[in-house]
Amino acid sequence: MASATDKNEFFTVAAEPQVNSNIPPGPLAEKWTQHKFNMKLVNPANRRKHTIIIVGSGLAGASAAATLGEQGYNVLCFCYQDSPRRAHSIAAQGGINAAKNYRNDGDSVYRLFYDTIKGGDFRAREANVYRLAEISSNIIDQCVAQGVPFAREYGGLLDNRSFGGAQVSRTFYARGQTGQQLLLGAYQALSRQIDAGTVKMFPRTEMLDLVIINGKARGIITRNMVTGKIERHVGDAVVLATGGYGNVFYLSTNAKGCNTTAIWRAHRRGAFFANPCYTQIHPTCIPVSGDYQSKLTLMSESLRNDGRIWVPKTPGDKRPPHQIPEDERDYYLERKYPSFGNLAPRDIASRAAKEACDAGRGVGPGGLGVYLDFSDAIKRLGRQKIEERYGNLFEMYAHITGEDPYVTPMRIYPAVHYTMGGLWVDYNLMSNITGLFVAGEANFSDHGANRLGASALMQGLSDGYFVLPATMGNYIASEKPEKVDINHPAFAEAEAEVVERTKKLLSINGNRSVDSFHRELGKLMWDNCGMARSDESLRYALSVIPKIREEFWQNVKVPGEGEELNQELEKAGRVADFLELAELMCIDALHRTESCGGHFRIESQTEDGEAKRDDEHFTYVAAWESTGVGKPPVLHKEPLNFENVQLATRSYK
Amino acid sequence: MKLTLNVWRQKGPNDSGHFETYHTDKVLPEMSFLEMLDVVNQDLIAEGKEPIAFDHDCREGICGTCGMMINGVPHGRQIAGTPTTTCQLHMRFFKDGDTITIEPWRAKAFPVLKDLVVDRSAFDHIIQSGGYISVPTGAAPDGNAIPVPKPKADYAFDAAACIGCGACVAACPNASAMLFTGAKVAHLAALPQGQAERYDRVLRMVDTHDAEGFGGCTNFAECEAVCPKGISIDVIAQMNRDLFWANLTRSQPKAKKESH
Ligand SMILES: Cc1cc2nc3c(=O)[nH]c(=O)nc-3n(C[C@H](O)[C@H](O)[C@H](O)COP(=O)(O)OP(=O)(O)OC[C@H]3O[C@@H](n4cnc5c(N)ncnc54)[C@H](O)[C@@H]3O)c2cc1C
Ligand code: FES
């Protein structure tokens, strides 16, 4: 596969890629069942002798901790919030997919599989995605049994809706708070295990490094965020379920604390980072209102089921929306993509909004917004129905903007929302470091280059409730991890590095706050590695990032001490890691000269401005090996083989 | 906008704490309350002082991490005029020249860790003592096997919407967590799936509530008034009904075991 992608001054390519996906043999539909049967088991009586470290208590981490605890393992679970119930999964609004076909509208496991593969622009593994679709139904059953109050119809059965990118109604939801209810379900299952003594929970505890002994992940180094104490934890395996790294852009729909530290530290210790440049920009967020802005708020894309997106036809039209007559409005998604209309997938809807705004047709302050208009839906269905469907979203919008969306159309703009990239894992969710597993948004699997709506919740819970509990037993039973304890020199060494780094951050005492660096990095990334990227923009970013990083380590100001609750110190450590990750994202984006999914490369588009994929050169997963800060990483290519679906141009017209 | 802030500063759990006054003229009406504090903190950092510590995460009103007393009321409910979290309170509700007093939640069960940050692990303990349905992973029947009438499902959702922020406790003159506890009890009791453990659950949760140092409910209803999610005190009545039945059966010998 010789091509322009084979290296440049920023990276090298591994002659013999060290990425074995370990996909089981056999027909697609039987792989998982067969694999489950072939895997080794751990005798129930022996399980409690094995400790499993799980970092993260979001959907992926909490469901894994609850299930492994219930199976009898000794689980240690960590999160940075004050309670596991607050992981950012809580903020998911729209829903969770499952191939139940309760609507009898032609859904099936195969269709969910196909939609997800296609939605991901043919950059995900067939086998993983099929398993996800297969498990999807069990997730709903599990959650219902836990008491998750999904929306129901008058007959008492579960309600569904359709979600961006799908032509069937397969999305289950709990008003506009699906993530909250699913997470509380997992949190309650976790709480039950904490009460039973199988899981020990460490809230307000941040993982700062991974400990590897004899080539296997055996522990972590953490900081107690209340006392500042640096601590060692040992286990037979380590699971990272630490969420996405969208905050590298500073402004995103992620929570303020979302970070890359856990997976980045693991990457620095040898774990490959796959497809870091695949970020999802969500089309329906509340636009930025000023420089002080600290985060962006998503409006669930379920709104696109009933809202119509438009901008004025004439650039610079400053009239208030209701004064712009129908024939002077451009419902651009309905016009360009008649069969999907306002439900076009996220990457397409986001880019179309950017195009409209770049052409001077944007609305609101700075012209960075488009209308999402419910007046037709309110006329058709009545206000009450709309209130029932989206009440809390409308309320949230009104709260933030001070405008009433029942009367004035909402203004929306795309924002960074989800990261498809993450640590590389094989079919068993194990990274290339033996014993290091990665679940949920933190891994790269399943969503390819673009994630469809309502599929992240599904993946997090599939990983945690069903996949890890099966593959973990196999790992423990076949590897039989030897006895080690926290006095092993590898622990001392990792701890010393963490202590050193913390001291360094506190001692610089420069002139700029952590936030000022984070904002600078974020803007650079948004402008140059955001919704559209080019060779020029990426090279520019790659010339600036090392300078920001250098200045950071010479001029950052972190007040306070290490042995106390110190929020500036927490932020400083995270921003330091973002400053390294950003570089890898740009290198990955630069090397991938095709457009695909969330990665739109300016040089690679069709005549009518649609993304142009390059299957000949890029049908692979880019897994990056670190060689040190600022040093060229090594690219390991995992080829993607499509045996069941045909690579096709993704058309939503 | 120009503002004067009286902010509670407390170095650590053992420090006695005090108010400090800050002035700022950089506030814009579009900012959220936490963004206003961000601005003040950036100035403090520039002056070489320690920024004000406060808990926050999602900043969109759903994680329940943020929370402070604003002019004596949790989340500044009285200022917004509608239910809100601190992160969703916007500065447009304040006037130029206002003085704002900011304090942490005050309750025996929520000790202050630093400045405006409190320890709410007592809430987790309440849930751990029974706020769940015991269903092992993989043992669930089809999601549609048991229909749930829509009104029941809606009621369960309304109760389950609690974000666990602690405003109810902070507002209550007795520092009671009955709204929080009742919300989970009512959510699970409304569903067919929650019946098997219904009475045992309420007993255990209420016992833990009391053991954690929360006070009793004497029907002030201040909790309902400040709840960002509008949880109704009906859940407390529901919990008390279940508790009544549970106590009746608790005093009897465990019938099921004896009959074997
Ligand atoms: C606003 C919003 C709306 C969304 N809506 C939908 C939707 O409708 N449908 C859908 O399918 N998906 C949706 N998504 C995506 C989906 O919610 C997330 O991808 C998913 O919930 C991530 O779950 P997770 O368990 O991987 O991570 P998270 O829930 O983010 O959990 C991460 C956990 O890791 C812990 N952690 C992180 N770093 C560290 C560290 N260094 N040390 C210790 N602990 C650490 C955190 O404390 C937390 O417990 C949405 C996302 C957002 C932001
Ligand atoms: S920060 Fe999450 S509710 Fe306010």
- What amino acid occupies position B167? A
Of the candidates B148, B164, B193, the beta carbon closest to that of A83 is on: B164
User: Does residue A602 form part of some domain?
Assistant: no
Tens digits of residue pLDDT in A169-228 = 999 999 889 999 999 999 999 999 999 999 999 999 999 999 999 999 999 999 999 999
Same domain, A328 and A413: yes
- What amino acid occupies position B196? A
Contacts of B35 in chain A (CB under 8 A): 292-294
Residue with tokens 């699997």: A445
Contacts of A559 in chain B (CB under 8 A): 45, 48-51
CA A296 – CA B36 distance, rounded (Å) = 16
Q: Is-contact A108 A150, C-beta < 8 A?
A: no
Same domain, A240 and A303: no
User: Does residue B110 form part of some domain?
Assistant: no
Set A47, A123, A346, A389: catalytic member: A346
CA of residue B215 to ligand 2 center, whole Å: 25
Count the neighbouring beta carbons within 10 Å of the beta carbon of residue B237. Answer: 14
Q: Is-contact A311 A361, C-beta < 8 A?
A: yes
Domain with residue A147: its CATH number is 3.50.50.60
| CB-based contact, B124 to chain A, within 8 Å | yes
Residue A164, pLDDT score: 63
Same domain, B77 and B129: no
Q: Which of residues A395, A417, A439 is at a domain's end?
A: A417
Same domain, B183 and B235: yes
Tens digits of residue pLDDT in A24-77 = 999 999 999 999 999 999 999 999 999 999 999 999 999 999 999 999 999 999
> A89 in helix, strand or coil?
helix
Residue A416, pLDDT score: 96
Pick among B49, B60, B115 to test the A interface (most A CBs inside 10 A)? B60
pTM here is 0.96
CA A263 – CA A267 distance, rounded (Å) = 6
Same domain, A112 and A101: yes
Same domain, A399 and A423: no
Taking CA–CA distances from A258, the nearest residue in chain B reads B57
CA A423 – CA A262 distance, rounded (Å) = 10
CA A600 – CA A597 distance, rounded (Å) = 7
Give me the residues of B, 152-181, that contact A with CB < 8 A.
Answer: 153-154, 156-157, 160-161, 163-164
- Quick check: is A549 catalytic? no
C-alpha of A464 from chain center: 15
CA A148 – CA A146 distance, rounded (Å) = 6
Tens digits of residue pLDDT in B219-232 = 999 999 999 999 99
User: Does residue B218 form part of some domain?
Assistant: yes
Torsion of the alpha carbons at A50, A55, A503 and B8, rounded to the nearest 10: -120
% of chain A surpassing 70 pLDDT: 99
Are residues B55 and A67, on separate chains, in Cβ contact within 8 Å? no
Residue A395, pLDDT score: 86
Residue B1 pLDDT exceeds 70: yes
User: Does residue A504 form part of some domain?
Assistant: no
Taking CA–CA distances from A225, the nearest residue in chain B reads B113
- CA angle at residue A193 from A189 to A196, to 5 degrees? 140
Q: What is the mean pLDDT of residues A256-263?
A: 98
Q: Which of residues A417, A445, A470 is at a domain's end?
A: A417
Distance in Å, alpha carbon of B94 to nearest chain A alpha carbon: 13
Taking CA–CA distances from A68, the nearest residue in chain B reads B137
Q: Which residues of A159-192 are buried (b: 16+ CB within 10 A; e: fewer)?
A: bbbbbbbbebbbbbbbbbbbbbbbbbbbbbbbbb
Lowest mean pLDDT among A412-426, A460-474, A636-650, B181-195: A636-650
Distance in Å, alpha carbon of A127 to nearest chain B alpha carbon: 21
Tens digits of residue pLDDT in A509-566 = 999 999 999 999 999 999 999 999 999 999 999 999 999 999 999 999 999 999 999 9
Residue A5, pLDDT score: 56
Count the neighbouring beta carbons within 10 Å of the beta carbon of residue A273. Answer: 28
Same domain, A287 and A329: yes
Same domain, B225 and B125: yes
User: Does residue A653 form part of some domain?
Assistant: no
> A199 in helix, strand or coil?
strand
Same domain, A172 and A80: yes
Are residues A147 and B188, on separate chains, in Cβ contact within 8 Å? yes
The CA-atom distances, in angstroms, between A104 and each of A100, A111, A115, A375, B146 are 9, 13, 17, 30, 19
Same domain, A211 and A288: no
Residue A391 pLDDT exceeds 70: yes
User: Does residue B208 form part of some domain?
Assistant: yes
Of the candidates A140, A297, A557, the beta carbon closest to that of B60 is on: A297
Same domain, B96 and B125: no
What is the number of structural domains in chain A?
2
Same domain, B215 and B158: yes
Lowest mean pLDDT among A365-374, A499-508, B201-210: A365-374
Same domain, A350 and A374: yes
| Tokens standing for residue A342 | 């306002």
Domain with residue B52: its CATH number is 3.10.20.30
How many Cα atoms occupy the beta-carbon half-sphere of A504 within 13 Å?
A: 12
CA A494 – CA A210 distance, rounded (Å) = 7
Count the neighbouring beta carbons within 10 Å of the beta carbon of residue A600. Answer: 26
CA B18 – CA B5 distance, rounded (Å) = 13
Ligand 1: residue whose CA is nearest its atom 9: A454
Tens digits of residue pLDDT in A613-636 = 999 999 999 999 999 999 999 999
ipTM: 0.96
Are residues B124 and A151, on separate chains, in Cβ contact within 8 Å? no
Of the candidates A158, A184, A256, the beta carbon closest to that of B57 is on: A256
The CA-atom distances, in angstroms, between A514 and each of A144, A255, B112 are 43, 17, 25
What ligand 1 atom has the least distance to the C-alpha of A59?
25
> A448 in helix, strand or coil?
coil
Are residues A294 and B35, on separate chains, in Cβ contact within 8 Å? yes
Show the domain range for A443: 38-276+418-479
CA A186 – CA A57 distance, rounded (Å) = 9
Are residues B88 and A399, on separate chains, in Cβ contact within 8 Å? yes
| Tokens standing for residue B83 | 């239910």
Same domain, B129 and B227: yes
Residue A1, pLDDT score: 40
Ligand 1: residue whose CA is nearest its atom 30: A243
What do you get for the CA distance between the two ends of chain A, in Å? 32
Are residues B124 and A83, on separate chains, in Cβ contact within 8 Å? yes
CA of residue A271 to ligand 2 center, whole Å: 33
User: Does residue A565 form part of some domain?
Assistant: no
Contacts of A256 in chain B (CB under 8 A): 56-59
User: Measuring CA to CA, which residue among A584, A594, A577 is closest to residue A635?
Assistant: A584
User: Does residue A607 form part of some domain?
Assistant: no
Ligand 2: residue whose CA is nearest its atom 3: B61
Same domain, B14 and B126: no
Q: What is the mean pLDDT of residues A639-653?
A: 88
The CA-atom distances, in angstroms, between A167 and each of A121, A170, A308, B158 are 17, 9, 17, 30
For the Cβ of A88 lying below 6 angstroms from any atom of ligand 1, the answer is: yes
For the Cβ of A89 lying below 6 angstroms from any atom of ligand 1, the answer is: yes
Crossing angle between the packed helical segments B198-211 and B121-128, to the nearest 10 degrees: 150
Tens digits of residue pLDDT in B46-95 = 999 999 999 999 999 999 999 999 999 999 999 999 999 999 999 999 99
CA A151 – CA A133 distance, rounded (Å) = 21
Same domain, A198 and A272: yes
Are residues A158 and B143, on separate chains, in Cβ contact within 8 Å? yes
For the Cβ of B65 lying below 6 angstroms from any atom of ligand 2, the answer is: yes
Same domain, B196 and B78: no
Q: Is-contact A510 A554, C-beta < 8 A?
A: yes
The CA-atom distances, in angstroms, between A454 and each of A166, A341, A457, B181 are 10, 18, 6, 30
Are residues A292 and B191, on separate chains, in Cβ contact within 8 Å? no
User: Does residue A158 form part of some domain?
Assistant: yes
Residue A609, pLDDT score: 84
Which helix or strand (DSSP H or E) is residue A519 part of?
helix A514-529
Same domain, A190 and A96: yes
Residue B257, pLDDT score: 38
Alpha helices in chain B (DSSP H): 33-46, 77-80, 121-128, 150-160, 167-171, 178-189, 198-211, 222-226, 234-250, 255-258
Same domain, B70 and B125: no
For the Cβ of A441 lying below 6 angstroms from any atom of ligand 1, the answer is: yes
For the Cβ of A78 lying below 6 angstroms from any atom of ligand 1, the answer is: yes
CA of residue B255 to ligand 2 center, whole Å: 45
What ligand 1 atom has the least distance to the C-alpha of A207?
42
Same domain, A339 and A324: yes
What ligand 2 atom has the least distance to the C-alpha of B163?
3
Q: What is the mean pLDDT of residues A96-109?
A: 96
User: Does residue A562 form part of some domain?
Assistant: no
Are residues B63 and A90, on separate chains, in Cβ contact within 8 Å? yes
Show the domain range for B20: 3-103
Q: Count contacts between A and B (CB, < 8 Å).
A: 216
Residue A166 pLDDT exceeds 90: no
Residue A136 pLDDT exceeds 70: yes
What is the number of structural domains in chain B?
2
Q: What is the mean pLDDT of residues A250-271?
A: 98
Residue B49, pLDDT score: 95
User: Does residue B111 form part of some domain?
Assistant: no
Q: How confident is residue A165, by pLDDT bands cut at 50, 70 and 90?
A: low
Domain with residue B197: its CATH number is 1.10.1060.10
Same domain, B94 and B129: no
Same domain, A72 and A112: yes
Residue B255 pLDDT exceeds 50: no
Q: What is the mean pLDDT of residues A423-434?
A: 98
Q: What is the mean pLDDT of residues B117-132?
A: 98
Q: Which of residues A428, A454, A479 is at a domain's end?
A: A479
Residue B256 pLDDT exceeds 80: no
User: Does residue B43 form part of some domain?
Assistant: yes
Of the candidates A146, A292, A564, the beta carbon closest to that of B38 is on: A292
CA A588, A593, A594, A599 torsion-angle sign:
positive
Are residues B128 and A149, on separate chains, in Cβ contact within 8 Å? no
Taking CA–CA distances from A253, the nearest residue in chain B reads B58
Residue B203 pLDDT exceeds 90: yes
| CB-based contact, B57 to chain A, within 8 Å | yes
| Tokens standing for residue A338 | 């008649």
Pick among B75, B126, B135 to test the A interface (most A CBs inside 10 A)? B135
Pick among A81, A102, A141 to test the B interface (most B CBs inside 10 A)? A141
User: Does residue A322 form part of some domain?
Assistant: yes
Residue A610, pLDDT score: 87
Same domain, B96 and B131: no
Tens digits of residue pLDDT in A11-25 = 999 999 999 999 999
User: Does residue B260 form part of some domain?
Assistant: no
The CA-atom distances, in angstroms, between A328 and each of A72, A313, B28, B143 are 65, 5, 34, 47
User: Does residue B250 form part of some domain?
Assistant: yes
Same domain, B179 and B93: no
Taking CA–CA distances from B85, the nearest residue in chain A reads A399
Of the candidates A203, A294, A469, the beta carbon closest to that of B59 is on: A294
What ligand 2 atom has the least distance to the C-alpha of B58?
2
